[in-house]
């Protein structure tokens, strides 16, 4: 099985990917949180920190683009190809209200004719040798939208179709619609990847039993809750407390350095803890304290309280 780390905007930036790879190597590729190329055709400082190859050394990373403009996509794809990237990913799944209102992300699924013109352009004019993968949902409102979309995707040389089998209206909460992934597995004849709700090695095993023809999965929140999930899925050991502490401290120190702000650093770390606390027996209590922290001293005290707890014995469930 090939395992990808899902893009998680606000969490899995380059600092996170480096720390995760250092302590928990074994993920086959990290898909980056989206870049939003604009018509100015320049990268912001933050985007450069996410995407420049020097910040992504030692592991495979795939940039993701969120745009409905073929021109902007092609500009950005050209820049990324020149940096040495061999694949770019198109975001067709972002459910955010402002993104969808602008007709981007999952909003592109609602207008198949426009999406077809967009795909026509980008696949015709992308830099030679650059692979284009898609990350999509089943549709905007209703999974019955999916067969038409799948037929459309089948017409292009998509290097990998990553399917998160929910519609936009499901956001991230409603149950994953596995029956629609089965539809894709049956009808789609090119590389296909499952994404959504995998939080334990048993989930990955069940998926490969159910879909023996699918050998690629993408995991997001499950890997935040248990950074060693891929290692465990491959038969390796669970994360030790020392590894979790090392990973945490590395990330925390890096954020303090780049943000030069305790408040901003603590804010970023809280997002990770909203998942990672499940690794600790009784982690909800220090989590409450952690959520109230606004500076390094109060944050570090809460983290020490967390690490004093025993690790949870069962598989991490977020
Ligand atoms: C906080 C957060 C940020 C996300 N950011 C992105 C993103 O930048 N690009 C993207 O394609 N998906 C994004 N997603 C969706 C995830 O990549 C993934 O599809 C989703 O969480 C379901 O997979 P999981 O259950 O394994 O987490 C985000 C999800 C969350 C919760």
Determine the distance separating the centroid of ligand 1 and the alpha carbon of 219, expressed in angstroms: 9
Residue whose Cα lies nearest atom 21 of ligand 1: it is 220
Pairing of strands 131-136, 61-62: unpaired
Task: For residues 201 and 246, state if they share a domain.
Answer: no
Does 316 fall in a domain?
A: no
Ligand 1 atom closest to residue 198's alpha carbon, by position in its atom list: 26
pLDDT of 136 over the 50 cut: yes
Q: Are residues 153 and 197 in the same domain?
A: yes
Mean pLDDT to the nearest integer, 198-210: 98
Picking from 217, 233, 249, the residue at the C-terminal end of a domain is 233
Of 203, 233, 263, the residue that ends a domain is 233
- For ligand 1, whether the C-beta of 194 sits within 6 Å is no
Total number of domains constituting the chain: 2
- Min mean pLDDT across 2-16, 202-216, 301-315 is at 301-315
Residues 209-266 have pLDDT tens digits of: 999 999 999 999 999 999 999 999 999 999 999 999 999 999 999 999 999 999 999 9
Are 107 and 99 spatial neighbours (Cβ–Cβ below 8 Å)? yes
Q: Is 196 in the pocket of ligand 1 (CB under 6 A)?
A: yes
Ligand 1 centre to CA of 232 (Å) is 21
Asked if residue 318 belongs to a domain, the reply is: no
Q: Which string of DSSP letters, residue by residue, matches 143-186?
A: GGGHHHHHHHHTTS--S-EEE--SBGGGTTTSPP-HHHHHHHHH
* Residue 313: predicted pLDDT: 83
| Residues 250 and 140 occupy one common structural domain | no
Query: 10, exposed or middle or buried, with CB in 10 Å at 0-12, 13-18, 19+?
Result: exposed
Residue 66 included in any domain: yes
Q: Does 313 reside within a domain? A: no
Structural domain includes residue 255: yes
On whether both 50 and 137 belong to a single domain, the answer is: yes
Any domain includes 157 = yes
Would the pLDDT of 315 be above 80? no
Which residue from 3, 4, 5, 7 has its CB within 8 A of the most atoms of ligand 1, so it is best to mutate?
7
Q: What is the pLDDT of residue 173?
A: 87
Mean pLDDT of all residues belonging to the chain: 97
312 in a structural domain: no
User: 293 and 150, same structural domain?
Assistant: no
pLDDT in tens, 88-111: 999 999 999 999 999 999 999 999
Residues 140 and 252 in one domain: no
Residue 165 Cβ inside 6 Å of ligand 1? The answer reads: no
User: Residue 162 pLDDT > 70, yes or no?
Assistant: yes
Q: Out of 233, 268, 293, pick the residue that ends a domain.
A: 233
What is the arithmetic mean of pLDDT over 149-164? 98
The predicted structure's pLDDT at residue 246: 98
pLDDT at 245: 98
Report whether residue 66 contacts ligand 1, using a CB cutoff of 6 Å. Answer: no
CATH number (domain holding residue 15): 3.20.20.70
Least confident of 34-43, 112-121, 165-174, 308-317: 308-317
The DSSP line for 188-217 is --S-EEEES---SHHHHHHHHHH-TT--EE
Domain that holds residue 292: 241-307
- 205 and 298 fall within a common domain: no
pLDDT number for residue 317: 47
So what's the pLDDT on residue 314?
A: 64
Task: Looking at the structure, tell me whether residues 203 and 288 fall in a common domain.
Answer: no
Is 250 in the same domain as 190?
A: no
17 and 53, same domain (yes or no): yes
CA of 195 to the centre of ligand 1 (A): 9
């Amino acid at each position: 099985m090939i395992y990808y780390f899902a893009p998680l905007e606000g969490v899995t930036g380059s600092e996170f990917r480096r720390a995760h790879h250092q302590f928990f190597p074994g993920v086959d590729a990290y898909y980056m949180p989206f870049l939003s190329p604009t018509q100015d055709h320049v990268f912001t400082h933050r985007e450069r920190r996410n995407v420049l190859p020097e910040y992504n050394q030692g592991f495979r990373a795939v940039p993701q683009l969120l745009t409905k403009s073929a021109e902007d996509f092609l500009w950005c794809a050209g820049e990324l190809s020149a940096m040495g990237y061999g694949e770019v990913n198109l975001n067709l799944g972002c459910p955010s209200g402002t993104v969808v209102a602008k007709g981007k992300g999952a909003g592109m699924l609602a207008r198949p004719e426009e999406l077809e013109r967009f795909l026509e352009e980008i696949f015709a004019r992308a830099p030679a040798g650059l692979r284009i993968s898609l990350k999509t949902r089943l549709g905007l409102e209703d999974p019955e939208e999916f067969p038409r979309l799948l037929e459309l995707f089948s017409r292009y040389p998509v290097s990998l179709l990553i399917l998160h089998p929910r519609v936009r209206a499901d956001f991230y909460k409603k149950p994953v619609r596995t029956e629609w992934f089965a539809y894709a597995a049956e009808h789609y004849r090119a590389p296909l990847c499952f994404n959504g709700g995998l939080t334990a090695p048993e989930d990955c095993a069940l998926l490969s039993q159910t879909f023996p023809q699918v050998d690629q999965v993408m995991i997001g929140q499950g890997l935040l809750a248990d950074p060693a999930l891929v290692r465990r899925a491959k038969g390796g050991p669970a994360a030790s407390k020392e590894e979790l502490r090392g990973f945490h401290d590395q990330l925390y120190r890096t954020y303090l350095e780049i943000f030069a702000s305790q408040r901003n650093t603590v804010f970023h770390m809280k997002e990770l803890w909203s998942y990672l606390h499940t690794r600790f027996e009784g982690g909800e209590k220090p989590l409450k304290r952690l959520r109230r922290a606004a500076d390094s001293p109060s944050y570090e005290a809460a983290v020490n309280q967390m690490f004093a707890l025993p690790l949870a014995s069962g598989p991490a469930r977020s």
